[in-house]
Structure 1
Amino acid sequence: MIAMQYNFTLPADYDMGIVRQRIASKGHLMDNFPGLVFKAYLHAAKNTVPTQSAQNWYAPFYLWDSNEGMNNFLCGDGFATVSQAFGWPAVSNWSVWHSHVHAEVASASYATREIIAIAPYTALPALRETETAAAKKASQQDGLLAVVTAFDPNAWTLVRFYLWRDAGFANAGQDVQGYEVGHVSVGAR
């Protein structure tokens, strides 16, 4: 499995209603996309509750069954359209160590994402075991609809991504980015 995200940083005075309207009108287009586990249409408005974001963001997060689905999306019309509207983003991707997706994932309304640097010469088997155990434990939390733990061996980062039923369930720390979820597309199975 592969986790993927790109971020569009929007101007401080950007009307985030435009992003919410775009998600409302186009979000369903990724429903049943082959190879997709889910796509969470994420956005955060600067200095607003519940995200407390330092910037305005449009930042979709994807979980793919394999690289074929990801490649089909990135080489397709959908990515071409979004990049023409918002710019050509860097696309982060991580190799998934563990994921758990609840059957009600499409009802998520809030997300948290934490990216952590992996120190040089870290014992990766031990880190993987620890992170997998933590993700399995986290998946038992009330209100948690998806958990993804993954790593990028190019940038040496770890990502912890959670989709929540609502913001009241989340316990976002200081270095955790919170997002509102405009729509969750679930892929064809």
Structure 2
Amino acid sequence: MHAMQYEFTLPADYDMDVIRSRVARLGHLLDDWDGLGVKAYLLRERGVHGSAVNQYAPFYLWNTMAGMNAFLWGGAFQGPVNDFGRPRVRQWTGLAYEEGSAAGSPAGLAVRRRQPVPEGVELAVFMADAAGEAARLAARDGAVLAAAAVDTQAWEAVHFSLWTHDTPKVEGDVYQVLHLSAPGRGALPRGRQW
């Protein structure tokens, strides 16, 4: 599993219904994308769920590098680049993936928490704990799925989870889920990934 996210931070007075309409019109295009586990079309709206910004920030869990590369270099990614500019694309190597206690329910909210990997920690212990956090999140009421991944260039862990409509009591940035493309969700490897 490989995780990926890019963010388009928009002006404070931006009409976020433009993003909602865009996702309603185009979101289905990745519903059968080869190599994609999950794409969550995410939106943060200034003043909603504690957000200080307007942001469109899709989050991906990929089953294959070929699928991710086909998305990035095969033309699909050019659409948002043309409309919003070329963003920095963050990538993380998968540590763990778990289906949640509400796995059959639609996702209404997502939470993403980025966490630095401190100097001097025992890496095996830190990564095992990050993988364990995915399992702990997935077991909570209202959890649809949870994942953990790490960027070894920036030494940053990311915890990502999808939730039913209720605001989860989980630390991190809260996003609205506008659409979920999940053609390879069933093929995402469960549990710790080493």
State the TM-score, normalizing by the size of structure 1. 0.92
User: Counterpart of 2:114 in structure 1: which amino acid?
Assistant: I
**Residue correspondence of structure 1 range 132-143 to structure 2 within 5 A:** 132-143=131-142
Q: Mind listing any 5+ residue stretches in structure 1 that lack a counterpart?
A: none
Query: Alpha-carbon deviation of 1:146?
Result: 1.1
Query: Alpha-carbon deviation of 1:134?
Result: 2.2
Partner of 2:72: 74
Partner of 1:11: 11
What CA deviation, in whole Å up to 9, does each residue of 1:14-51 have, x standing for no partner?
A: 00000011011110000011110100000011012xx2
Partner of 2:58: 60
Is 1:178 the counterpart of 2:174 in the alignment?
A: yes
User: Counterpart of 1:60 in structure 2: which amino acid?
Assistant: P
Is 1:123 the counterpart of 2:129 in the alignment?
A: no
Alpha-carbon distance in 1 for matches of 2:16, 2:64: 32
State the TM-score, normalizing by the size of structure 2. 0.90
Is 1:41 the counterpart of 2:35 in the alignment?
A: no
Q: Mind listing any 5+ residue stretches in structure 2 that lack a counterpart?
A: 188-194
Alpha-carbon distance in 2 for matches of 1:98, 1:7: 23
Alpha-carbon distance in 2 for matches of 1:100, 1:28: 24
Alpha-carbon distance in 2 for matches of 1:140, 1:83: 37
Partner of 1:87: 85
Aligned residues: 183
User: Counterpart of 1:160 in structure 2: which amino acid?
Assistant: H
Query: Alpha-carbon deviation of 1:171?
Result: 0.9
Partner of 2:191: none
Alpha-carbon distance in 2 for matches of 1:99, 1:138: 10
